[in-house]
A and B are shown apart, each in its own frame.
Chain A
Amino acid sequence: MIILLVLGIFLITFLLRSSFILFLHQGEFPPAVRLTLGLVPAAVLSALVWPDVFSKSGIFSLEWEKVLAAVVGVVIAWRTRNVLYTVFFGMLTLWCLRVVGL
């Protein structure tokens, strides 16, 4: 079972990642597609982050320490463009708020 799962994940992931790099690498995208592709990093990474921050249990049960820690992370990332500082100060905020008991 697990070996089939591993092979399945390998195949699916490799085909998706190589799709345009390896297989469909010739030709040009139409201008509208190029413009849309420019938006991909912002759209995807944000769709990865927001659900982790605004908890799954609904708007009225937000974990505020996570929201504040994420805001700190955004500000640090914006000012420094540095992954280490972003993680460090974001986690520091989270832990401090938990200790204080917010």
Chain B
Amino acid sequence: MKVSGKVSNAKVSPFARGMLEFIPLLPAAIPFGLVVGVAQVKAGLTVLESVGMSALGYAGSAQLVASQMVQGGAPLLLILLAVATVNLRFAMYSAVLRERFREFSKVGRALNGFLLTDQTFALFVDKLEGIDPRARLGYTLGAGLSMYMVWQICTLLGALLGQTLPRAWSLDFAVTLTFVALGVPAVKDRPTLAAACAGGLAAVLTAGLPFKLGLMVGTGVGLVVGMIAMRVYKNSGTRAKHR
């Protein structure tokens, strides 16, 4: 399968291949970008400030949280604290990916660091192993820069359209559904299922905590329960069906 794929892909550069394989993730980027753009101008940012936030900050959930807090009149330091909590997951993504990115040049690693998102993380975890190591840098940059461009365009559109996007569309729930689509394939066996259920439940129960701490609490509980499940199913005999 890997070999037959290579033939048809031989003509396409790794960068172009990364761009092409990002296309199925477009529905995961477009509604999110629109929602964030709308939220930023609603919080009182000018269109230019909104563009700057997307271009430099480039972190959907954090931009959303920051916008809500700006709107609520929160002080700068508290907003940054919330941003750090929401984005702590990126340090974990970074840890997951570091061995796969190790051979890249320093610039390549820095660019990939800047461009890492939930969407490209899901793509790389899924696809990167099956790609020729020499083609990986181009592939990751093709996908990463596609996501970046789409993000800039969609948040700008959201900022310009602003309130004219009807609330009844519930675009924010489309964002939730994209995370469903990215998360379901991550559940492959009982430990990951346990991690997902425990993490989700804990996040719901702690959703009221300040600074979006619930996300980190949920993730932590999910990881612990997943590790326990791993022990239990390993010890409970030979039924483990991991490949």
**Residues of A that sit less than 8 Å from B by CB:** 1-10, 12-14, 16-22, 24-26, 29, 32-33, 35-54, 56, 66, 69-70, 73-74, 77-78, 81-84, 86-88, 90-91, 94-95, 98
The answer to whether B62 touches A37, judged by C-beta atoms less than 8 angstroms apart, is no
Q: Are A86 and B218 in contact (CB under 8 A)?
A: no
Q: Are B70 and A70 closer than 8 Å at their CB atoms?
A: no
The answer to whether A86 and B180 touch (CB under 8 A), given A13-B59, A47-B199, A47-B218, is yes
Contact with A along B73-112 (1 / 0, CB 8 A): 0001001100110011111111111100110001001101
A43 to B219, CA, bound (A): 5
- Tell me if B76 and A41 are in contact (CB < 8 A): no
Q: Is the CB of B112 within 8 A of A5?
A: no
Docked-complex contact A54 and B204, CB < 8 angstroms: yes
The number of residues on chain B lying at the interface, defined by a beta carbon within 8 Å of a beta carbon of chain A, is 91
Q: Which of B58, B125, B185, B215 contacts A48 (CB 8 A)?
A: B215
Fill in one digit per residue for B37-74: 1 if any A CB lies within 8 Å of its CB, else 0: 00000000100010011001111011100100010000
Indicate if B151 sits at the interface (CB-CB under 8 A). no
B173 lies within 8 A of A91 (CB): yes
Tell me how far the C-beta of A84 lies from the nearest C-beta in chain B, rounded to whole angstroms: 4
Please tell me if B233 contacts chain A, counting CB pairs below 8 Å: no
Residues of chain A with a CB closer than 8 A to B175's CB = 52
Q: A20 touching B91 by the CB < 8 A rule?
A: yes
Partner among A12, A36, A78 whose Cβ is within 8 Å of the Cβ of B223: A36
B145 within 8 Å of A by Cβ?
A: no
Given A40-B92, A52-B173: A77 and B113 interface contact (C-beta under 8 Å): no
B59/A51 in contact, CB under 8 A: no
B186 surroundings in chain A (CB, below 8 A): 41-42, 45
Contacting residue for A69 out of B53, B96, B173, B199, CB 8 A: B173
Stretch at the interface among B25-33, B128-136, B157-165: B25-33
Sort A-B residue pairs by CB-CB distance and give the 9 closest, nearest first.
Answer: A18-B113, A43-B222, A45-B183, A47-B218, A50-B200, A41-B186, A9-B57, A86-B181, A77-B184
Q: Considering only CB atoms, which chain B residue lies closest to A70 in the complex?
A: B180
A45 and B179: CB pair below 8 A? yes
Report the minimal beta-carbon distance from B148 to chain A, rounded to whole angstroms. Answer: 13
Contacting residues, chain B, for A48 (C-beta < 8 A): 61, 118, 179, 183, 203, 215
Shortest Cβ distance from B100 into A: residue: A21
